[in-house]
Structure 1
């Protein structure tokens, strides 16, 4: 559901960031003037991290591509010979559970809380697989809210730019060599005011409810697209009807020949032709956006796939493949061995809510966790002791995933 993002990172330890072995920051040089830039840039799984001279830190790029890169999921048309020019893959579905995995990944990478990741730009999109050639729909795009579409990449991509957002439509099957016809419809939000209406400010705000808001907004913008359907059957049309449809297929007719006040009447007339005499390609794509959007925004419980020796927290993680364990309903934190059923369904590590309950129900073990986990200094975004405890659990989880080679997202 989420693709490209631009995130302002707040309160990050710059010294730690510069010293991370997986990030190589370079000072860029202008090819025209030869002048050294005042910013330092590192590339990470098709994303970019920029540290400005002022100390400002921006993360930008497709978190969908980042996820696929971490999972070693490549495009169907990937060619090892073109490795240097490969730009990543985002032609498959990207679910809320995977988005939240990326969020945890970035929390560990930047040693921060989700509220320290403030969105500047964000794209919401859905990949659909209609039963027709994507270009058949793209070539019929006329305009959106008074602006015509701009085409690129041999007409495999079309977009309209507005003050607070872009509407984008892609032929993804053509881009990535996907065997099934794939059309991606995307809403790129570029202003905080628009995000505010979706109840999104930071990565902490990404959840099932806010992504449902984004899906509704995406469908609304897609419904505003005025398009001509090239599957209209003109077999029994009169000469005048054919002339009218010829005009309707021309974007210039709508934007230059018709006055804005007269467009609604003709839009209704075109809609009637489409509904009664075509395959209605728009509705087919819309139906898939809605169905797939609801599915990818739905949270699924993670299977209980590990057992823990709680006497040495996080150091003895071993796969558990027993049938009895897979049927167990309780959710157990793989680092602390604590039941986390009281937490949100998408969580799989002991976090703030679980720590609060543990403090009341088992203060002895809670105090033991404090003594074992708490190291280092807190920052101002760690509003409570629970926040710092949660961070230490996340860090140990990812460190042990790498150590034991479990099939989970790893950092390094």
Structure 2
């Protein structure tokens, strides 16, 4: 499908799950932007519910080159989304219902959907949802992914992705997987199976307060008279977060972290 807006300054085209926007002026067209999923491109424009390994990625970039004439070795990436599908032994809803925060930023349901949560930061978004429910599949399939809004975030992590072909660099691919696991490990979960009767008074207070997402909101420097007070508050919150995580975390979290690591390694070597 092709189209053009009423001003004549933009032109649109769609191809197998990708959307192309050409920007122009009275002097002519000066930039083309590609949006969408190369995973869907590989699947001939169909959904992206299956696994997308490095081999499929390489094939998808080949389609960009051969069918669309895109120079993947020089076209710049402005954002990126990557993640894994993992199979759980328990309903995905049990994991999602115990989500709290990532570094003090709360996870929120999207459009009221109890099977889809995300956490927004300035540079990236963490998405975690029930893939089977979203795509009407069987089984307990958890999707965990990161959507990078600004590539400076990756560069600051030592992941040097600038052009499309950089996605196939083995070093970059490995580092993306490491980042995925690290982000998951910083998520704070509660455990709704905790027996309050077995907790001490101080433990019960921390658990009940910690189950409220707003309790973990990070201290804000302008709220403090001096910087040392702010730094003390930050350190105290980190200590409480670590204590809460070690004492009250959902029991499957360590296993899920390992599954994410294993799944990424599987995708990298397919």
TM-score by length of 2: 0.83
Q: Does 1:27 align with 2:1?
A: no
Q: Does 1:202 align with 2:163?
A: yes
Partner of 2:51, secondary structure, is coil
Determine the C-alpha separation between the residues in 2 that align with 1:211 and 1:231: 37
Determine the C-alpha separation between the residues in 1 that align with 2:174 and 2:218: 37
1:10-409 counterparts in 2 under 5 A? Answer: 24-28=1-5, 35-36=6-7, 38-53=9-24, 54-69=29-44, 88-153=46-111, 154-196=113-155, 197-207=158-168, 208-234=170-196, 236-238=198-200, 241-255=203-217, 259-274=233-248, 280-299=251-270
Q: Structure 1: give runs of 5+ residues left out of the alignment.
A: 1-23, 29-34, 71-87, 300-412
Determine the C-alpha separation between the residues in 2 that align with 1:242 and 1:194: 38
Determine the C-alpha separation between the residues in 1 that align with 2:123 and 2:202: 40
Per-residue CA deviation, residues 268-302 of structure 1 (Å, 9 max, x unaligned), is: 22123236xx5x22212211110110010115xxx
Report how many residues are paired: 250
Q: Structure 2: give runs of 5+ residues left out of the alignment.
A: 221-232
Root-mean-square deviation over aligned CA pairs: 2.4
Determine the C-alpha separation between the residues in 1 that align with 2:197 and 2:140: 27
Determine the C-alpha separation between the residues in 1 that align with 2:206 and 2:104: 20
Determine the C-alpha separation between the residues in 2 that align with 1:164 and 1:233: 38
Greater C-alpha Rg: 1
Question: Structure 1 residues 93, 235: CA separation in 2 closer, same or farther (over 3 Å shift)?
Answer: farther
Question: Which aligned runs of 4 or more in structure 1 are off by greater than 4 angstroms?
Answer: 256-259
Question: Structure 1 residues 249, 47: CA separation in 2 closer, same or farther (over 3 Å shift)?
Answer: same
Bigger fraction of residues in strand: 2
**Larger mean Cα displacement after TM superposition, 92-101 or 45-54:** 45-54
Determine the C-alpha separation between the residues in 2 that align with 1:298 and 1:264: 37
Residue 209 of structure 1 and its aligned partner are, at CA, apart by: 2.3
Determine the C-alpha separation between the residues in 2 that align with 1:158 and 1:150: 5
Partner of 2:78, secondary structure, is strand
TM-score by length of 1: 0.56
1:42–1:50 Cα contact (<8 Å) kept: yes
Question: Structure 1 residues 94, 233: CA separation in 2 closer, same or farther (over 3 Å shift)?
Answer: farther
1:142–1:249 Cα contact (<8 Å) kept: yes
Partner of 2:137, secondary structure, is coil
Taking CA–CA contacts closer than 8 Å with sequence separation of 6 or more, which of the two structures ends up with the larger relative contact order?
Answer: 2
Determine the C-alpha separation between the residues in 1 that align with 2:182 and 2:217: 21
Determine the C-alpha separation between the residues in 1 that align with 2:133 and 2:70: 38
